[in-house]
Amino acid sequence: MIKAIAVDNEPHGLESIKMYASKINFLDLKATFVDALEALEYLKNNPVDLVFLDINMPDITGMDFARMLPPTTGFVFVTAYSKYAVDAFQMNAVDYLMKPYGLSRFLQACEKAH
């Protein structure tokens, strides 16, 4: 079972992740956050295996957030911008989902993490 959280300053983006995560039996989405700083606080006491991350967020970018994660925590970027893809994979991102995406593409990312 993969324990995960999602961080996206757009509630609609989080709703998509919640909906798709509920359909994947090996994924346990523990929490969602519109505020990246709140997510970092949560992770101090609640380690997870995987983080779904938007890139463009107001207080901290998804790229910076990913750099703060323990090396054992995987991350999948979920964004509307293709221009960060090369950087994401250089950072060893598990995957890079381009909004809008469907269940099959979300499942593919989760299977890579699994």
pLDDT, one tens digit per residue, over 23-41 is: 999 999 999 999 999 999 9
Return the CA Rg of the chain: 12
Domain coverage including residue 33: 2-113
Q: What is the pLDDT of residue 108?
A: 98
Give the total number of structural domains in the chain: 1
All residue ranges of the chain with pLDDT < 50 are none
| Residue 25 DSSP symbol | T
Side by side, the strands of the sheet bearing 95-98 are 27-33, 2-7, 50-53, 74-79, 95-98
Residue 73 CB-density burial (10 A; 0-12 exposed, 13-18 middle, 19+ buried): middle
Q: What is the pLDDT of residue 102?
A: 97
**What's the CA gap between 87 and 33, in Å, rounded?**
23
Q: What is the pLDDT of residue 57?
A: 94
CATH classification of the domain holding 24: 3.40.50.2300
| Residue 57 DSSP symbol | -
Q: What is the pLDDT of residue 8?
A: 97
